[in-house]
Amino acid sequence: MDTDTHRLKELPVVLNMKALYEALLKDLIPLQPHRNESFQGLIDRAERISKLEREAIKLGNRIKKEKQFNRRVELNRTLNELKAEIEGLKE
């Protein structure tokens, strides 16, 4: 492997395999863990954010296709609520 383009990370020093897996996976999750948040809680939060982002994309596509103004307004309100929930989970 070309070390100039790929930075090799040292393995974390841990006492068991579970801690090793958690340390490796934490580097792959783009979120910072909350204080006193368990590893499973971090994974659940990342999955919830991913699900909400997919819903927001689908809702955005529905807004583009919708012809009636009042329905577009309601869908846009729902989309804004989803985006606010996503941002709340990312903090």
Residues, the chain:
91
What pLDDT is attached to residue 61?
96
pLDDT value at 9 more than 80: no
> What average pLDDT does the segment 48-77 reach?
95
**Cα–Cα distance for residue pair 18/22, rounded to 1 Å:** 6
Tell me the whole-structure pTM to 2 decimals: 0.75
> What average pLDDT does the segment 9-16 reach?
79
Higher pLDDT, 4 or 63: 63
**Cα–Cα distance for residue pair 44/42, rounded to 1 Å:** 5
Q: Do residues 14 and 20 touch, judged by C-beta distance below 8 A?
A: yes
Lowest-confidence pick of 1-5, 9-13, 27-31: 1-5
Phi/psi for 79 (5° steps) reads -65, -40
What pLDDT is attached to residue 55?
96
Q: Do residues 79 and 64 touch, judged by C-beta distance below 8 A?
A: no
Look up residue 12 and give its amino acid.
P
